[in-house]
Amino acid sequence: MIRKDVEVVRNEGGYYLHPDIPQDGWSPSGWAKWLVENELQVRYRFLSDDDRPEAQAILDRYDKGDNLCLKQWEPVAPVHGEWFLLYIGDSDEGPLATWARHFVK
């Protein structure tokens, strides 16, 4: 089972990948299978949806080509539940944070 009590250590660009995630490269079906195998529910939070003024300032810098500004973004976890961070990085839709929690039974 994936550990949820891992210290988040981001690289110099602000990116983060939970150390229990295999780094083999993923297909969408592979990612979905891995989530099911690890009994994880995920929520995606995009920087563009973070309405805090400091997040919008970071997004403005990112949109102007400052790729190092992500290290200043502190994504907010979803409410209700023990969410932990799986990933901070880039996507086709822009910077995002991926939060996870074990299935609530």
pLDDT of 29-74, one tens digit each? 888 888 999 999 999 999 999 999 999 999 999 999 998 999 999 9
**What are φ and ψ of residue 43, in 5° steps?**
-135, 135
How is the chain split into domains, by residue range?
Answer: 16-102
pTM attached to this predicted model: 0.89
C-alpha span between 46 and 43 (Å, rounded): 10
Is the pLDDT assigned to residue 86 strictly greater than 80? yes
Nearest residue to 55 (alpha-carbon basis) of 65, 43, 45: 45
If phi > 0 it is left, if psi is from -120 to 50 it is alpha, else beta; for residue 3 that is beta
